[in-house]
Amino acid sequence: MSLQKHEMPSQAPDVRNKNFYEVTLGYTAETAIDEAKRCLNCKNKPCMGGCPVRIHIPEFIAKVAEGEFEEAYHIIQQTSSLPAVCGRVCPQETQCEQKCVRGIKGEPVAIGRLERFVADWHNANSCDLPVKAEPNGHKVAVVGSGPAGLTCAGDLAKRGYEVTVFEALHLAGGVLVYGIPEFRLPKLIVQKEIDNLIALGVKVETNMVIGRVLSIDELMGEYGFEAVFIGSGAGLPRFMNIPGENLKSVFSANEFLTRVNLMKAYKENSRTPVFHAQKVAVVGGGNVAMDAARCAKRLGAEEVSIVYRRSEAELPARAEEVEHAKEEGIVFRFLTNPTAILEGENGLVSGMTCIRMELGEPDASGRRRPVEVPGSEFTIDCDAVIMALGTSPNPLIKNTTKGLDTQRWGGIIADERGQTSRPGVFAGGDAVTGAATVILAMGAGKTAAESIDAYIRSKHQ
Amino acid sequence: MYPIVKKRELNPTVTLMEVSAPFVAKKAEPGQFIILRVDEAGERIPLTVADFDREKGTVTIIFQIVGGTTERLNHLNEGDGIHDFVGPLGEPSHTEGLKKVAVIGGGVGCAIAYPVAKKLHGQGAEVHSVVGFRNKDLVILEEEFRAVSDVYKLMTDDGSKGEKGLVTDALKALIEAGNAYDEVIAIGPVVMMKFVSLLTKQYGIKTVVSMNPIMIDGTGMCGCCRLSVGGKMKFACVDGPDFDGHEVDYDEILKRASTYKEFEAREREAACNLFKKEVK
């Protein structure tokens, strides 16, 4: 049996960096069956321990090995509401696959790729609608339709709750639709997963900014929701507070990605404009920075560089995304920190002054702290800058909900079960932790659904 | 879909629409805005709430046809629907405790100034309205303004209606005549707000301006609408749109507003051509 995972076919780097089609193409049925046979079906299932939503991994893989793809899907669906998404964007290398026994000698089983295959197969071949649960007569509101909210909504609907999801934008999906680009996560797939939830009975109300149009108190008062889950994410972009940051061709990654992904500004017929730059500097080293850089390249920029103040080893982005970015021609400038953005003609960017950094002692997070090298300033030639420095929770809900305790930086305080300082109000995902990953948000949504179920049951005993 | 229940052309380039949006109508306050998307492929544009009827569940918007999207919006009629209509967004204008106020409106900005004047009048304040237009054909909301104003000064650039001159000329005259305003509220083109602020600064009169930078989401998640106020970065969609007129960096705003000029010109032409074809 092979020590390596089966390769997943993908578009060639110099082809894909000019289009927005999905980079990786997925397994065929034959490859999926072959890969599934690499699973040893361990008794103690360590892989499951690495999955935040605890998918029954060996069981679904056994069904794939037998060619029973629809049955495999039903096993995944018991615990996960968004398998086509997770199979694509989870960092499996630090989760399920990290715990895989086959990884001790050789490569782990490609759990993510198999999950993706099963979900895609179901979406392409099955017309079965999910079976709605028997209604239990209780109403729950979910604020935000990102991964945390969708997972919470799906789990509650499966238990018979009448769930309404309130979304501020015109499309549901949160970061899955406005943040992660089409070439990593096709939007049709996200829509399909949301349609599956709607078939389960979940109502999705778009264009509803909770905190403005309705408050949490109104939801729980006159609208009769017995519990509320807040999964409003961390969408408030950070800037550096350096000179020149308000120049015309300086963007937050959120703005740039929202234009490109949600508003589809990369398409010829989109009515939302996006700035087409020749030389783009993206500041930051996370997945969002990689996404922004790769989008800029696809929009036709000659040169796109990632400007990061630490070294390659500290990059917070997934290794696979960094690899993909490099293959597509993205330049990396490590140990470099911007100090000012320079103004050229018409209020546009003409360059960026940076300073060299070196790594000092480890900080509280355990990463070595970058320290400026005195007198090492230099200028990067660029005509646009994208700031991908992370985001914080939006203060709108905090400011309009009395008695909801938050951290000083804005995160909602919730215990490990998702309970906030307000009875009946639960929270999870980036709204609680600050910007993190899709799968952690889904795990938090799942846990909160269990807590909400227990809370409502306890009230009616 | 949000149905258009009434449409009225206020002048050749400015249109009023009353849109059925009960949730927005229930909460909207003067100074707040909405974001709309005309159709499935449309961009999101911000428009200020010009009026609302909580009983009927309608919100009034007044817009000037300046580009592709407003051209397409103007092409819709009563009974048609607007694809997305979200709000109310932004902070309401602060009107509490004001006894005597000068409300300055420029062009289509009068549509935003009017609900503020109406609210002030409703709470018993003395309202002096100064409105400015390029010429007599562009004048809007004259009756509405007169009804809520103790003083109404109409200015046109060419003198074809009211007095010839700029709103700043009229405001200066009113101040010099001894009117002690608690506050001046100026809403209109950025250049107008800049010059009103420069004028009132000389007299030390607190001045509030309503900013209208480029926006996408309108909920604070992208920072596209950022501006400098007193040297600090603010997001107009959540911190504003009202700001202290003496603290705003107008020149920066003027530059940022031109970011997509070329794209916008192309879009406008595309929209115009589309509708020309339909007419034939």
pLDDT digits (tens, 9 = 90+) for A253-271: 999 999 999 999 999 888 9
Distance from CA of B48 to the nearest CA of A (A): 15
Which residues of B make up each annotated binding site? 62-64, 222, 225, 237
What are residue B233's phi and psi, to 5 degrees? -80, 125
By C-alpha distance, the chain A residue nearest B41 is A270
Interchain contact, B226 vs A246, CB within 8 Å: yes
| Residue B277 pLDDT grade (very low, low, confident, very high; cuts 50, 70, 90) | low
Distance CA A340, CA A347 (A): 14
Determine the pLDDT at residue A99.
95
Cβ contacts (< 8 Å) between B224 and chain A: which residues?
Answer: 251-252, 255
Residue A67: closest CA among A40, A39, A33, A37: A33
Selected for mutation to probe chain B from A209, A256, A262, A396 (highest B CB count within 10 Å) is A209
pLDDT tens digits, one per residue of B239-255: 999 999 999 999 999 99
What are residue A340's phi and psi, to 5 degrees? -165, 150
Cβ contacts (< 8 Å) between B255 and chain A: which residues?
Answer: 247-248, 346-347
Determine the pLDDT at residue A395.
87
Is A228's pLDDT higher than 50? yes
Which residues of B make up each annotated binding site for FAD? 62-64
Determine the pLDDT at residue A461.
76
Is A51's pLDDT higher than 80? yes
Per DSSP, the three-state class of A295 is helix
Q: Where are the beta strands (DSSP E) in A207-307?
A: 227-230, 236-237, 250-252, 279-283, 303-307
Cβ contacts (< 8 Å) between A288 and chain B: which residues?
Answer: none
Residues A161/A424, Cβ–Cβ less than 8 Å: no
Distance CA B83, CA B30 (A): 23
Distance from CA of A255 to the nearest CA of B (A): 4
Interchain contact, A271 vs B267, CB within 8 Å: yes
Distance from CA of B5 to the nearest CA of A (A): 20
Mean pLDDT across the stretch B51-79? Answer: 95
Nearest to A207 among B42, B84, B258 (CB): B84
Determine the pLDDT at residue A363.
81
Is A402's pLDDT higher than 50? yes
Nearest to B86 among A207, A239, A246 (CB): A207
Average pLDDT, chain A: 94
| Residue B270 pLDDT grade (very low, low, confident, very high; cuts 50, 70, 90) | confident
- How many CB atoms neighbour CB B162 within 10 A? 18
Interchain contact, A259 vs B238, CB within 8 Å: no
β-pair type (B100-106, B126-133): parallel
Which residues of B make up each annotated binding site for [2Fe-2S] cluster? 222, 225, 237
Interchain contact, B37 vs A170, CB within 8 Å: yes
Distance CA B154, CA A185 (A): 56
Residue B27: closest CA among A396, A364, A212, A368: A212
Cβ-proximal residues to A134 (8 Å cutoff; 6+ apart), any chain: A160
User: What are the Cα distances from residue A259, in Å, to A306, A322, B86?
Assistant: 20, 23, 18
Per DSSP, the three-state class of A287 is helix
Determine the pLDDT at residue B280.
47
Is B274's pLDDT higher than 80? no
Which alpha helices (DSSP H) does A90-226 contain, by range?
111-125, 147-158, 175-178, 187-199, 216-220
Nearest to B221 among A245, A254, A275 (CB): A254
Distance from CA of B168 to the nearest CA of A (A): 28
| Residue A430 pLDDT grade (very low, low, confident, very high; cuts 50, 70, 90) | very high
Buried b (16+ CB within 10 A) or exposed e, B100-133: ebbbbbbbbbbbbbbbbbbbbbeeebbbbbbbbb
ipTM above 0.85 for this complex: yes
Instruction: Report the DSSP beta bridge partners of residue B63.
Output: B15
Cβ contacts (< 8 Å) between B37 and chain A: which residues?
Answer: 170
Average pLDDT, chain B: 94
Distance from CA of A169 to the nearest CA of B (A): 7
Residues A430/A234, Cβ–Cβ less than 8 Å: yes
Cβ contacts (< 8 Å) between B83 and chain A: which residues?
Answer: 170
Cβ contacts (< 8 Å) between B19 and chain A: which residues?
Answer: none
By C-alpha distance, the chain B residue nearest A234 is B221
Selected for mutation to probe chain A from B34, B70, B215, B216 (highest A CB count within 10 Å) is B216
| Residue B264 pLDDT grade (very low, low, confident, very high; cuts 50, 70, 90) | confident
pLDDT tens digits, one per residue of A118-141: 999 999 998 777 788 999 999 999
By C-alpha distance, the chain B residue nearest A236 is B221
Torsion, CA B192, CA B196, CA B201, CA B204, rounded to 10: -150
Interchain contact, B44 vs A214, CB within 8 Å: no
Q: Sign of the C-alpha dihedral, residues B28, B29, B30, B33?
A: negative
Interchain contact, B85 vs A208, CB within 8 Å: no
- Residues counted in chain B: 280
Mean pLDDT across the stretch A329-353? Answer: 96
Interchain contact, B41 vs A270, CB within 8 Å: yes
Distance from CA of A237 to the nearest CA of B (A): 6
| Residue A2 pLDDT grade (very low, low, confident, very high; cuts 50, 70, 90) | confident
Determine the pLDDT at residue A394.
87
Determine the pLDDT at residue B265.
85
Distance CA A376, CA A356 (A): 6
Residues A141/A153, Cβ–Cβ less than 8 Å: no
Q: Which residues of A touch B (CB under 8 A)?
A: 168-170, 206-209, 212-214, 235-237, 239, 241, 245-249, 251-252, 254-255, 258-259, 263, 269-273, 275, 346-347, 391, 394-396
Determine the pLDDT at residue B275.
76
Share of chain A above pLDDT 90, in %: 86
Distance CA B6, CA A347 (A): 41
End-to-end CA distance of chain A: 55
Cβ contacts (< 8 Å) between B88 and chain A: which residues?
Answer: 212-213
Element (DSSP H or E) covering residue A333:
strand A331-333
Per DSSP, the three-state class of A342 is strand
Cβ contacts (< 8 Å) between A207 and chain B: which residues?
Answer: 84-86
Bigger pLDDT: B161 or A126?
B161
Mean pLDDT across the stretch A50-73? Answer: 95
- Tokens 């109406």, residue? B118
Residues A405/A255, Cβ–Cβ less than 8 Å: no
Determine the pLDDT at residue A126.
85
A397: Cα separation from own chain's centroid: 21
Distance CA A311, CA A314 (A): 6
Cβ-proximal residues to A293 (8 Å cutoff; 6+ apart), any chain: A280, A282, A304, A305, A306, A325, A330, A386
Distance from CA of B221 to the nearest CA of A (A): 5
Interchain contact, B37 vs A394, CB within 8 Å: no
Selected for mutation to probe chain B from A178, A272, A399 (highest B CB count within 10 Å) is A272
Is B127's pLDDT higher than 60? yes
Is B185's pLDDT higher than 70? yes
| Residue A302 pLDDT grade (very low, low, confident, very high; cuts 50, 70, 90) | very high
Cβ contacts (< 8 Å) between B89 and chain A: which residues?
Answer: 209, 212
